[in-house]
Amino acid sequence: MEETLERAVLVGVHLDDDEQFNYSMEELANLAEACGVEVSGIVTQNLERPNPSHYIGSGKVKEILMFHDETDSNLVIFNDELSPSQIRNLETELDTKVIDRTMLILDIFARRAKTREAQLQVELAQLQYMLPRLVGLRASLSRQAGSTGGGVATRGPGETKLELDRRRIEDQIARLRRELDSVKSHRETQRKRRVKRDVPVVSLVGYTNAGKSTIMNSMLAGIGDGAGRHVLERDMLFATLDTSVRNIHLQDNREFLLTDTVGFVGKLPHHLVKAFRSTLEEAADADLLLHVVDVSHPEHRYMMDVTEDTLADIGIEGIPEVHVYNKSDLAGLEHPRKQGNSIWISAKDAGDIRTLTEMIAAKIFGDYVRVRLLIPFDRGDVVSYLNEHADVKDTEYTEAGTLMDVEIREADRNRFREFLAPSEE
């Protein structure tokens, strides 16, 4: 990949109630690094509220301008989301390219996305983000559609033919949406097949760099799987962008599917989270979530909050969850240790991974519960599944569908929770 040298001044506004400010600036520097951008310096300002026209005060703009020129920088990155007019005003005054945290994250995503679905989601998010900002952006189309490689500041044509650009982007958005729909329906088919196969799904979720992919690889190693099926693990933000699904076979002939997903990060804008909804649908479908936490990180409480908020944001709620406090070796904590729905491990320790796997198995295969399910008549597949796999106490045919009183595994109860009879919720 050709690397254009980019040097950026990072700018952060410390609002009164932001306790995570210092950490989020440090993270911004890591994000820039993940994007191949060199950080020439950091400028911050304490404010009660952002300035509507330039986000920062006018004196600060001058300070940034001087610093930018002195350090031979060619980019300014703001820690917060900027409005289209703020970008426009800042670029005019600073006479350089200005981007915000969202655009930086989108750029990383664009570089890392491998599967068609992830690529489409990133392209769509980029275009949607760009559209209202078109007037302000120096290199209006620079961050367009799959533009991996090259520099953040230098790609694409200038801001000529604005209207034409806008219409072209709108067309492109429509085209991407259609393609994404068809990719999604393919995924849907695969998932239905999985429900039929009766294999519970366990999803790894958590903040970026927590060790999700490492846990998946250690589990695969534990069952003697081929190295070719391992996923990428690396000490960098957003190493994983595509959902991977692997079969984990247990000794007693049972199995479950383990999915590894994109990590979360603070200040992730709502629409960006939405764009990843379809990748995360694997998690939405899971019987069990493994919320992986880097317990050695001083900000891990904040990272847990961000993860929980993001999950709620995309509508993933009510799925049983195990808190996996990973990197206990680095934190100097005793491991493995279990307590309630929490477990402390090191992903690098084979014994710990065995303990974790046992805990998962107990959760998904262990408990049977008695429930009443109301199954619509067009889901005969679910009825026959239950007849085969559950202890059916009673079956009644009502106007709304088949009402079944059954004893089923906890995992099945979660999988079929959309069919829970009203009194069960």
| Residues contributing to the site for Mg ion (CB under 5 A) | 212-213, 239-240
User: Does 423 show up as a binding residue in the annotation?
Assistant: no
* Residue 240 interacting with ligand GTP (CB under 6 A): yes
Nearest to 183 by CA among 244, 121, 139, 274: 121
* Residue 213 interacting with ligand GTP (CB under 6 A): yes
User: Which residues lie below 8 Å from residue 2, measured CB to CB, with a gap of 6+?
Assistant: 149, 150
User: Does 348 show up as a binding residue in the annotation?
Assistant: yes
User: Does 286 show up as a binding residue in the annotation?
Assistant: no
For ligand GTP, the closer CB: 347 or 375: 347
Count the residues of the shown chain that bind ligand GTP, applying the rule CB under 6 A.
22
* Residue 311 interacting with ligand GTP (CB under 6 A): no
User: Does 208 show up as a binding residue in the annotation?
Assistant: yes
Candidate ranges 127-135, 172-180, 344-352, 395-403; the one touching ligand GTP (CB under 6 A): 344-352
* Residue 327 interacting with ligand GTP (CB under 6 A): yes
Q: Is 295 exposed, middle or buried (0-12, 13-18, 19+ CB in 10 A)?
A: buried
Q: How far apart are CA 292 and CA 294, in angstroms?
A: 7
For Mg ion, the closer CB: 218 or 240: 240
CB of 279 to ligand GTP, least distance (A): 12
Q: How far apart are CA 115 and CA 395, in angstroms?
A: 44
Q: How far apart are CA 394 and CA 195, in angstroms?
A: 23
Angle, to 10 degrees, between the axis of helix 116-130 and the axis of helix 277-284?
130
Do 409 and 367 touch, CB atoms closer than 8 A?
A: yes
Give, in order, the Cα–Cα distances in Å from 174 to each of 65, 109, 252, 275. 39, 21, 49, 14
Q: Of the candidates 89, 142, 346, 414, which one interacts with ligand GTP according to CB under 6 A?
A: 346
Residue whose pair of structure tokens reads 């306790």 in the numeric block: 19
For ligand GTP, the closer CB: 200 or 263: 263
**Residue whose CB is nearest to ligand GTP in the complex, by number:** 263
User: Does 327 show up as a binding residue in the annotation?
Assistant: yes
Residue 208 contacts which entry, ligand GTP, Mg ion, none (Cβ below 5-8 A, type-dependent): ligand GTP
Q: Is 405 exposed, middle or buried (0-12, 13-18, 19+ CB in 10 A)?
A: middle
* Residue 74 interacting with ligand GTP (CB under 6 A): no
User: Does 213 show up as a binding residue in the annotation?
Assistant: yes
Residue 72 contacts which entry, ligand GTP, Mg ion, none (Cβ below 5-8 A, type-dependent): none
Helix (H) or strand (E) holding 391: strand 391-398
Q: Of the candidates 35, 125, 347, 359, which one interacts with ligand GTP according to CB under 6 A?
A: 347
User: Does 211 show up as a binding residue in the annotation?
Assistant: yes
Residue 379 contacts which entry, ligand GTP, Mg ion, none (Cβ below 5-8 A, type-dependent): none
User: Does 240 show up as a binding residue in the annotation?
Assistant: yes
* Residue 297 interacting with ligand GTP (CB under 6 A): no
Q: How far apart are CA 349 and CA 366, in angstroms?
A: 25
Q: Of the candidates 214, 243, 278, 402, which one interacts with ligand GTP according to CB under 6 A?
A: 214
User: Which residues lie below 8 Å from residue 118, measured CB to CB, with a gap of 6+?
Assistant: 109, 241, 242, 279
| Four-residue CA torsion sign, 149, 152, 155, 161 | positive
Beta bridge partners of 249: 255
User: Which residues lie below 8 Å from residue 356, measured CB to CB, with a gap of 6+?
Assistant: 215, 219, 290, 324, 336, 343, 345
* Residue 307 interacting with ligand GTP (CB under 6 A): no
Q: Of the candidates 263, 266, 336, 401, which one interacts with ligand GTP according to CB under 6 A?
A: 263
* Residue 208 interacting with ligand GTP (CB under 6 A): yes
User: Does 326 show up as a binding residue in the annotation?
Assistant: yes
Residue whose pair of structure tokens reads 């808190």 in the numeric block: 323
User: Does 212 show up as a binding residue in the annotation?
Assistant: yes
| Binding site, annotated residues | 206-213, 238-242, 260-263, 326-329, 346-348
Residues binding ligand GTP (CB under 6 A)? 208-214, 233-235, 237-240, 263, 326-327, 329-330, 346-348
| Binding site, annotated residues for Mg(2+) | 213, 240
